[in-house]
Amino acid sequence: MAENPLMLLGRVLGGVVLMQGGLGPQVLGQLLILGTNEVAVAGATVVVAATSRQRNAVVQAAIRTAVPAIAIQSLIQRDLARLEARERREQHAARVAHADVKALKQSNCKLKDERNHLSLRLNEATMKLTALSSVVPPTPAGPAVPPLAPPSSARPARPRTKKRKPASSAPPSKRRPPRPK
């Protein structure tokens, strides 16, 4: 339930007046204006300054409090508008993505149907081919090819190599001296 505007004004005015006192009343004034926007607090400050006996107090209060409060309020409104625009973009992107998913599912269903149809046609063609192969006589074979001989159990012959005599088997008189390097 919304607060009565007259009660809101009284609460904010009382909070602003109390904030000009000592530390205890300042805390109480802060609690009274808690939850209100900056423009309402600035307006209450201007009203309190207007009741003082100083010259140009209203103008000074307006310059010191109302202008920054209005600027802050406009910044907040701009940020809120930006957030709402972002939410609208995200919702649009979600709708587009949902539509894409739906289109992909439909395409997938069509592909499955086509695959099933082609599978049935393949089965029919295979059955016809089987039926035709049982009707057609086999073709006459050409000359008989002799079967390959089974592998021999004997080991294949290894090529012969010359055997060298070891150097120590020659008598010492027939040995050659080592070559100089």
Residues 64-99: pLDDT tens digits? 666 777 777 888 889 999 999 999 999 999 999 999
Distance set, CA 157 to CA 148, 150, 151 (Å)? 21, 18, 14
Note the pTM of the prediction, 2 decimals. 0.37
Give me the residue spans of the domains in the chain. Answer: 37-133
Structure tokens at 11: 């609460």
Distance set, CA 144 to CA 92, 139, 140, 147 (Å)? 77, 14, 11, 9
The answer to whether 39 touches 67, Cβ cutoff 8 Å, is: no
Which residue type sits at 176?
Answer: R
pLDDT tens-digit map of 155-171? 666 666 666 655 556 66
pLDDT tens-digit map of 103-150? 999 999 999 999 999 999 999 999 988 888 776 565 665 555 555 655
Cα 126 to Cα 133: distance, rounded to the nearest angstrom? 11
What is the CB neighbour count within 10 angstroms for residue 8?
15
Which residue type sits at 76?
Answer: I
Cα 101 to Cα 40: distance, rounded to the nearest angstrom? 49
Higher-confidence position of 9 and 116: 116
Query: Up-side HSE of residue 152: CA atoms within 13 Å toward CB?
Result: 4
Query: Helix, strand, or coil here: 144?
Result: coil
pLDDT of 141 reads 59
Does residue 3 come out as left (phi exceeding 0), alpha (psi in the -120 to 50 range) or beta?
beta
Count Cβ neighbours within 10 Å for each residue of 23-37 and write b for 16 or more, e otherwise: eeeeeebeebbeebe
Q: Give the best-scoring range by mean pLDDT among 36-40, 44-48, 124-128, 150-154.
A: 124-128
The answer to whether 51 touches 82, Cβ cutoff 8 Å, is: no
The answer to whether 27 touches 15, Cβ cutoff 8 Å, is: no
